[in-house]
């Protein structure tokens, strides 16, 4: 099954003769390492098997914005996953700075509410094509975890509620487990991106993720992008592992 692509999602690499999308446009490799040298080694090892790389809190805290600039300058797309969550003015200012780095995607926490999300979306307008993605419920959490922090109901209910707020506030998409993706598509349609972490090849370990799916399951559920870290970055042959994941995406 192939998920339909929302028209606002800036994907390139389309085969004009068939309309097919290069599956590499959907794969995001997570650079969850602590040094620029380690990150660049992964990028070199993956080669042209992936086009987009996630720079998260670990790497950004260690190396700062220069690595992001270098990745962008090398022609890679950067998904800046810092999950901004603060007062609207602070988040808007942070998004404007991220836009100056040339990133293609960034994250904010949907729990920040309408005003904060709107400030982020408005600030992103300084960089046409920059996607603001709202993090709904972390894939390391389940219903019991939500209940402990005072949120009752199912994960799907929480994800849908937060996604609805985010999209109404101008965000171009959400970050959610593929286990909720099909419900989001049914409730909210196709005109937004769903970026799915917690993706593992069939038969591999889950690590600290709880709500995990395979690449094929993620795409079939409606995910537009999948984020894969350790299965690629810790593989003996990262490029081959990335190609195996592309093959399983079934796009």
| 79-103 per-position pLDDT tens digit | 999 999 999 999 999 999 999 999 9
CATH number assigned to the domain comprising residue 194: 3.20.20.70
Work out how many domains the chain is built from and give that number: 1
19 in a structural domain:
no
239 in a structural domain:
yes
Please say whether the dihedral angle defined by the alpha carbons of residues 163, 58, 87 and 8, taken in this order, is positive or negative.
negative
Q: What is the pLDDT of residues 56-70, one digit of tens each?
A: 999 999 999 999 999
> With bands split at pLDDT 50, 70 and 90, how would you rate the model's confidence at 204?
low
15 in a structural domain:
no
Q: What is the pLDDT of residues 115-149, one digit of tens each?
A: 999 999 999 999 989 999 999 988 788 889 888 99
pTM, two decimals, is: 0.87
248 or 72: which leads in pLDDT: 72
Domain of 79 in residue numbering reads as 24-249
195 in a structural domain:
yes
Phi-psi region of 4 (alpha: psi -120 to 50; beta: other; left: phi over 0): beta
pLDDT at position 89 is 98
Q: Report, in this order, helix, strand and coil percent for the chain, each rounded to 5.
A: 45, 15, 35
**Which of 54, 83, 115, 148 does the annotation list as catalytic?**
83
Known catalytic residue at 148: no
What average pLDDT does the chain have?
A: 87
204 or 3: which leads in pLDDT: 204
């Amino acid at each position: 099954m192939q998920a339909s692509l929302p028209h606002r999602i800036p994907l390139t690499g389309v085969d004009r003769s068939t309309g097919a999308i290069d599956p590499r446009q959907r794969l995001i490799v997570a650079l969850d390492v602590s040094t620029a040298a380690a990150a660049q080694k992964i990028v070199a090892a993956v080669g042209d098997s992936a086009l987009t790389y996630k720079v998260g809190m670990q790497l950004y805290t260690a190396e700062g914005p220069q690595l992001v600039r270098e990745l962008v300058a090398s022609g890679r797309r950067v998904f800046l996953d810092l999950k901004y969550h603060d007062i609207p003015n602070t988040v808007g200012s942070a998004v404007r700075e991220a836009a100056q780095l040339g990133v293609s995607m960034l994250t904010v926490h949907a729990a920040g509410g309408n005003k904060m999300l709107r400030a982020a979306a408005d600030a992103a307008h300084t960089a046409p094509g920059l996607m603001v993605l709202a993090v709904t419920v972390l894939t390391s959490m389940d219903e019991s975890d939500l209940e402990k922090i005072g949120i009752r109901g199912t994960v799907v209910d929480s994800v849908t509620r937060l996604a609805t707020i985010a999209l109404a506030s101008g965000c171009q998409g959400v970050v959610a487990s593929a286990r909720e993706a099909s419900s989001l598509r049914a409730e909210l349609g196709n005109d937004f991106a769903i970026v799915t972490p917690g993706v593992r090849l069939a038969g591999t370990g889950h690590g600290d993720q709880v709500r995990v799916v395979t690449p094929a399951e993620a795409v079939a559920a409606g995910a537009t992008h999948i984020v894969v870290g350790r299965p690629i970055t810790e593989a003996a042959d990262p490029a081959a592992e990335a190609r195996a994941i592309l093959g399983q995406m079934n796009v």
